[in-house]
Amino acid sequence: MAPYANEIYHFFAKPLLIQMQSQNASIISTKLTATFIVPLKITLFCAFIISLPLIFWQIWLFVAPGLYSKEKFFIFWTLVIGYVLFILGVVFVYILVFPIIFNFFISMTPVDVGLMVDISSYLEMIIGLFLAFGFAFQIPIILVTLVKFRWVQLKTVEKNRPYLIVISFVLGAILTPPDVISQILLAAPMILLFELGIFFSRKISID
């Protein structure tokens, strides 16, 4: 068993457990192996996220010698800021999104229904949300990169802003649980990050 796997699992289960107190609900395991596999998977997920800087650094050592100084500067800071934005997305989910959506779903439980959440389905849900928000928070970096290398014109992006807002809500509906609150919680940051990407893209275009 990975060291501290149970403690790490409890950390990620805490937002749900707090919301469950009002309903006397509990987390259950419908598979005997899940009590071992789920904490291990969460630990491996955390280990992968923590090790990303080292992975990026090894890739950087391989790629950097073939780049010009300006390209080195841009790509290096793109990787650094992209990783920071991914972590911010994960933190945003844990601190803000989890309490809101868990409270919503639990409050919708009928009076005569005993709520029990399967540990495996909970794992799939939280990792899916972490990845969805983590990648959504990459929007500024992606947009700036596209404009920087002139793969996309900034005027074209600004012209199609209304369509991108609609796409944000569509992606919010696809990547989150089937409720309006989760959709808005993902779409709203995506729209704000899109505007942030436009702002920095203008700065690059001016420079």
Across 15-35, b (16+ Cβ under 10 Å) vs e yields bbeebbeeeebebeeeeeebe
Q: How does pLDDT run across 174-183, given as a tens digit for each residue?
A: 888 777 888 8
> pLDDT digits over 68-96, tens only?
888 788 888 888 999 999 999 999 999 99
Question: How much is the pLDDT for 206?
Answer: 54
Instruction: Kindly state the DSSP code that residue 111 receives in the 8-state scheme.
Output: T
According to DSSP, residue 46 is labeled: H
State the pTM of this model.
0.86
